Amino acid sequence: MTVLSEYMKKINLEHWGYNEFEKELKRLIKLYNSKRNTYMFLYVSSFNPNLPSSLEQKDYYFIKDLIEKNETNTSQNLDIYIETPGGSGTTAEEIVKLTRKNYDKVSFVICGEAKSAGTIMAMSGDEILMTQTGSLGPIDAQIVMHGNVVSAYDYIDWMNQKKKEAEKTGTLNPADVVILSQITPGELNGVINSLKFAEDLVKKWLNDYKFKNWETTETTHKPVTDRMRKSRATSIAKKLSNHNFWRTHGRSLKLEDLEELGLRIVDLDDENNKDIGEIVYKINMVCRMMLNMSNSYKIMCTSDQIISFNAQPNTQSNVQQVIPDNIHNVELDQECPNCGKVHKLYAKLINNKQIDAEMSKKGRIPFPIDNELKCECGFNINLQGVRSQIESQFKKKIC
């Protein structure tokens, strides 16, 4: 039975929902920890471009709380399972400094995609463990320009193209002129420095951590010098930041690609690592199930704690009834984003049992106390945003 079939069976026959998958994720992490004698921290983001799923500074404060040593975490080894479309290079630097302050050995586990800032962080690992489904990507810095998040490399590349175009033709497209006129020299230098910053981080971390125990060459068994370590780290950093070579910022670099660059990767599909690989594949599938059956877009988890970030559904148009002068309750219809079923709810603004009786006759159910509405399809709908909207609109708390 495949991993997908195993968990689909649990959904269809055992009626597993989001809460059951949360428990399963913690169980798998605990099992992984016992097999590896480590402490696993999981950071998984959605790749939906319409959601704020990039690595950002606010994540650092949650991560700090989850990975710092405590009564239940005494391990000197940290394994970070990471899936992310990328994000802030400076946040990646802070997270790596934090891990190195608290742990003697740090490894990165890649079963999905860890792009851009995710790749930068992975280069700081003593080990990189990968499945055949895992991938890293070219390194880059994501910067905010005029309200938009853009790739530093793509930004510089576009500028260079326009410069060549102007030199060749003596003119520019009017639309490009408008854009270029808004760019200051300071902004341009900032973009260039951001890209160089990412490359410098990778060079330093590879030399300090990944290659620190590299003592002899694999083929000739010659002693490895500091100069050789620095040279290899520089070569890899330059190749990872060369988007002209990879052709696209979104390129998936698999285990074989990384080994061709000169990195040694632990293959979790190898027979010797089969037990760990099976757990990692299950962790990957459980995370995908959790993202698919809820409006969560980012999950951070250890064997003891879990934090999820949820996209709040826009329900302004779903409010069906209000009483203008003396508001006692609000009726609303909430559609499940997964299966489309419409759930008929009501929110009481005063404590009155008669309202419950009247709403029950109309087939409506109370607004959930914990803001979690579980659909029959297994999808968890987070209604925190709906609660905030109603309470703000009517200046009353939902009872």
What ranges do the domains of the chain cover?
Answer: 3-137+252-310, 316-394
Instruction: Please state the rounded mean pLDDT for residues 134-145.
Output: 77
What pLDDT is stored for residue 315 in this prediction?
46
Which pTM was predicted? 0.76
> β-strands 329-335, 319-321: how paired?
antiparallel
Q: Is the per-residue pLDDT at 180 higher than 90?
A: no
| CATH class for the domain made up of 3-137+252-310 | alpha beta
pLDDT band for position 46 (50/70/90)? very high
Residue entry with tokens 């704020």: 52
- List pLDDT tens digits, range 58-116: 999 999 999 987 777 788 999 999 999 998 889 999 999 999 999 999 999 999 999 98
Question: Residue 191 — pLDDT band, cuts 50, 70, 90?
Answer: low
Residue 243: band (very low, low, confident or very high) from pLDDT cuts 50, 70, 90: low
> What pLDDT, in 10s, does the model give residues 331-351?
888 888 778 889 999 999 888
**Residue range 230-259: mean pLDDT, rounded:** 83
- Band of residue 127 on the pLDDT scale cut at 50, 70, 90: very high
State the Cα–Cα distance between residues 383 and 145, nearest whole angstrom.
33
Q: Residue 363's Cα: distance from chain center in Å?
A: 39
Is residue 6 within 8 A of residue 74, CB to CB? The reply is: no
pLDDT > 90: percent of the chain: 47
pLDDT for position 3: 94
Q: How many CB atoms lie within 10 A of CB 314?
A: 10
What are the tens digits of pLDDT across the range 254-309?
999 999 999 999 999 999 999 999 999 999 999 999 998 888 899 999 999 999 99
Q: Give yes or no for a contact between 69 and 39, defined as CB atoms under 8 angstroms apart.
A: no
Q: Which residue has the higher pLDDT, 98 or 163?
A: 98
Segment 195-222 shows an average pLDDT of 87
Max mean pLDDT among 26-35, 52-61, 152-161, 222-231 falls in 26-35
Q: Which residues contact 270 (CB under 8 A, 6 or more apart)?
A: 277
